[in-house]
């Protein structure tokens, strides 16, 4: 897929919500994503959120809801999300949020990737970029 191999280098445990993993196998998901899931590495753990917590988090998609619930239950160091509503909900629950750009910046600071190259590669995908001024600020800090 790309830079996913940096995750176990940055975190001692990486949990993918089972509903997100299921979304990654959908026929409309990019082939490279479906292939990655079919041979998911051992470091990529999957888990479900507790039904009680899942019911308490409303107004978000299943993936975001599950990610927040799991992060709360696991007392995770951080939760990866880019959706603005999900970020607000995660923040409300006291979670440390990492956006994709922040994650890539962290990896660049640790010398694991070239930030500008990672952003260029990301631009060839269906990823929804933040506003241009935010992108430019990240690039300014990391070049």
One-character DSSP codes across 70-99 = HHHHHT-S-EE---HHHHHHHHHTTPPEE-
Burial of 87 (C-beta count, 10 Å sphere; 0-12/13-18/19+): middle
Q: How far is CA 50 from CA 31, 38, 78, in A?
A: 30, 25, 18
Q: Is the same domain home to 83 and 69? A: yes
Which whole number is the average pLDDT over 13-22?
A: 94
Q: Is the same domain home to 93 and 125? A: no
pLDDT for residue 97 is more than 60? yes
Q: Is the same domain home to 93 and 112? A: no
Which whole number is the average pLDDT over 122-126?
A: 86
How would residue 76 be classed by pLDDT, with cut points 50, 70 and 90?
very high
- Where in the sequence is the domain holding 109, given as residue range(s)? 100-141
Total number of domains in the chain: 2
Q: Is the same domain home to 104 and 114? A: yes
How would residue 1 be classed by pLDDT, with cut points 50, 70 and 90?
very low
Q: Is the same domain home to 116 and 54? A: no
Q: Is the same domain home to 90 and 60? A: yes
Check which CATH number belongs to the domain holding 88 and give it: 3.40.50.1010
Q: Is the same domain home to 105 and 92? A: no
Give residue 2's pLDDT. Answer: 64
Q: Is the same domain home to 13 and 55? A: yes
Which whole number is the average pLDDT over 105-115?
A: 94
pTM for the predicted model, two decimal places: 0.89
């Amino acid at each position: 897929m790309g830079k996913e191999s940096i995750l176990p280098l940055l975190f001692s445990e990486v949990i993918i919500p089972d509903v997100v993993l299921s979304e990654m196998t959908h026929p409309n998901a990019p082939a490279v994503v479906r292939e990655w899931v079919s041979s998911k590495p051992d470091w990529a753990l999957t888990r479900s959120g507790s039904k009680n917590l899942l019911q308490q988090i409303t107004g978000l998609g299943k993936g975001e809801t599950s990610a927040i619930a799991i992060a709360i239950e696991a007392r995770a160091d951080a939760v990866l999300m880019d959706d603005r509503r999900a970020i607000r909900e995660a923040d409300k629950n006291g979670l440390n949020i990492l956006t994709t750009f922040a994650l890539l910046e962290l990896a660049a600071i640790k010398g694991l990737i070239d930030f500008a190259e990672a952003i260029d590669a990301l631009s060839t995908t269906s990823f929804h970029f933040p506003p241009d001024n935010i992108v430019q600020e990240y690039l300014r800090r990391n070049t």
